[in-house]
């Protein structure tokens, strides 16, 4: 790691079948992030967005006792969140409700995210997620026995889509040894105006700075492992057209700004671990025995 960070992140046209070249693998190892344009078609993005909106249609905000925010500790002690690892649940933005307690906008424009097992439960999300090209990427990055541990649909709605502060995903998806890889799909164009991601390249080669885990049944805590602040002045924007896939190391620090624009910024993420690594029982994200961890193979 140096103080002279690149001003652009490694970005390539998506290789056929996920067959990363040695240059792509090298860039990923160096920077902790790899942007692959046109990885999926716009039609595939639109199909997933349409399915997400159908699921939202069936969601009643009155049932939700939770909002999700990485700047707010409230959700950390919330069973609705903690129990969502093998379900499809909905998390509203902090500013979802107006002063009178009503939603400010349509449901999809008040939601922060949906998670965390659409890829196993919903047939449309299942098909999108179990993609042989993702298996190929994972294999070329050295994970020989991947398991898709979670999926998230990120709404980042216009005007109230919240900021996500700088973090590492391995803080939440910890394995021993660390093996988390993030796959982030732009389903709509992500820009610096509507809250695209930023990465601090190369910092994944440093340590994991925090670890989040369960304290008993329904409490979570975050233990700070390294108090050195992130060099956020070295962050680099990752704008992404719809269909782009961003692959990143679980230790790659990243963040996104608030969406202050008039357009939404829908994205879909998968997190993958290596099943040969130990997955601790104290990780917040757990699934029941009736929903075993799967790799990228389609259902038989
Ligand atoms: Fe993240």
Residue 116, pLDDT score: 97
Residue 110, pLDDT score: 92
Distance 192 CA to ligand 1 centre (A): 17
* Between 3 and 171, residue with greater pLDDT: 171
pLDDT tens, 191-207? 999 999 999 999 999 99
CB 183 within 8 A of CB 20: no
Phi-psi region of 288 (alpha: psi -120 to 50; beta: other; left: phi over 0): beta
Distance 24 CA to ligand 1 centre (A): 21
Mean pLDDT of 216-231: 92
Distance 285 CA to ligand 1 centre (A): 14
Percent of residues, the chain, with pLDDT higher than 70: 93
Residue 185, pLDDT score: 98
Residue 166, pLDDT score: 98
Distance 167 CA to ligand 1 centre (A): 6
Question: Over 70: is that where the pLDDT of 183 sits?
Answer: yes
Phi/psi at 47 (nearest 5 deg)? -65, -40
Residue 102, pLDDT score: 84
Question: Over 70: is that where the pLDDT of 255 sits?
Answer: yes
Mean pLDDT of 73-81: 63
Mean pLDDT of 164-170: 97
> Six-digit token pair at 234?
């070295």
Distance 99 CA to ligand 1 centre (A): 30
Which of 275, 282, 143, 273 lies closest to 219, judged by CA?
A: 282
Distance 262 CA to ligand 1 centre (A): 23
Distance 166 CA to ligand 1 centre (A): 8
Those residues whose beta carbon sits under 5 angstroms from the ion ligand 1 are: 169
Mean pLDDT of 13-34: 98
Residue 60, pLDDT score: 87
Distance 300 CA to ligand 1 centre (A): 31
Phi-psi region of 81 (alpha: psi -120 to 50; beta: other; left: phi over 0): alpha
Question: Over 50: is that where the pLDDT of 14 sits?
Answer: yes
* HSE-CB of 227 using CA atoms within 13 angstroms: 0
Domain ranges, ordered by start, for the chain: 11-274
Distance 104 CA to ligand 1 centre (A): 26
Question: Over 80: is that where the pLDDT of 251 sits?
Answer: yes
Distance 252 CA to ligand 1 centre (A): 9
pLDDT tens, 42-63? 999 999 999 999 999 999 887 7
CA gap 276, 274 in Å, rounded: 5
Distance 291 CA to ligand 1 centre (A): 24
Please provide the average confidence, as pLDDT, over all residues in the chain.
92
CA gap 33, 252 in Å, rounded: 7
Question: Over 70: is that where the pLDDT of 25 sits?
Answer: yes
Residue 66, pLDDT score: 44
Distance 39 CA to ligand 1 centre (A): 20
Distance 164 CA to ligand 1 centre (A): 8
Top-level class of domain 11-274: mainly beta
Residue 65, pLDDT score: 46
Distance 250 CA to ligand 1 centre (A): 8
Distance 168 CA to ligand 1 centre (A): 6
Residue 68, pLDDT score: 47
pTM above 0.85, yes or no: yes
Distance 274 CA to ligand 1 centre (A): 18
Distance 100 CA to ligand 1 centre (A): 32
Lowest mean pLDDT among 80-94, 112-126, 172-186: 80-94
The DSSP bridge pattern shows strands 220-224 and 210-214 to be: antiparallel
* Between 147 and 216, residue with greater pLDDT: 147
Question: Over 60: is that where the pLDDT of 74 sits?
Answer: no
Hey, what's the torsion of the CAs at 113, 152, 201, 230, to 10 degrees? 50
């Amino acid at each position: 790691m140096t103080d002279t960070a690149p001003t652009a992140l490694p970005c390539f046209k998506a290789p056929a079948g996920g067959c990363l070249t040695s240059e792509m693998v090298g860039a990923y190892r160096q920077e902790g992030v790899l942007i692959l344009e046109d990885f999926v078609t716009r039609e595939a993005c639109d199909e997933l967005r349409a399915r997400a909106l159908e699921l939202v249609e069936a969601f009643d905000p009155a049932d939700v006792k939770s909002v999700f925010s990485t700047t707010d500790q409230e959700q950390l002690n919330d069973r609705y969140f903690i129990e969502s690892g093998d379900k499809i649940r909905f998390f509203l933005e902090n500013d979802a409700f107006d002063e009178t307690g009503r939603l400010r906008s349509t449901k999809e424009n008040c939601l922060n995210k949906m998670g965390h097992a659409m890829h196993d439960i919903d047939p449309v999300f299942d098909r999108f997620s179990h993609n042989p090209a993702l298996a190929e990427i994972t294999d070329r990055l050295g994970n020989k026995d991947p398991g898709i541990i979670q999926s998230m649909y990120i709404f980042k709605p216009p005007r109230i889509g919240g900021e996500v502060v700088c973090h590492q995903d391995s803080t939440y998806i910890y394995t021993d040894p660390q093996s988390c890889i993030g796959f982030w799909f732009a389903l709509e164009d992500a820009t610096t105006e509507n809250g695209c991601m930023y990465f601090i390249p190369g910092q994944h080669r440093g340590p994991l700075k925090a670890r989040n885990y369960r304290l008993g049944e329904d409490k979570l805590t975050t233990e700070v492992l390294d108090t050195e602040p992130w060099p956020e002045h070295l962050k680099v924007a990752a704008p992404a057209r719809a269909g782009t896939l961003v692959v990143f190391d679980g230790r790659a620090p990243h963040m996104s700004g608030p969406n202050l624009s008039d357009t939404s910024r829908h994205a879909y993420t998968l997190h993958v671990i290596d099943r040969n690594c130990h997955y601790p029982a104290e990780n917040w994200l757990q699934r029941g025995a009736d929903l075993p961890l799967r790799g990228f193979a389609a259902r038989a």
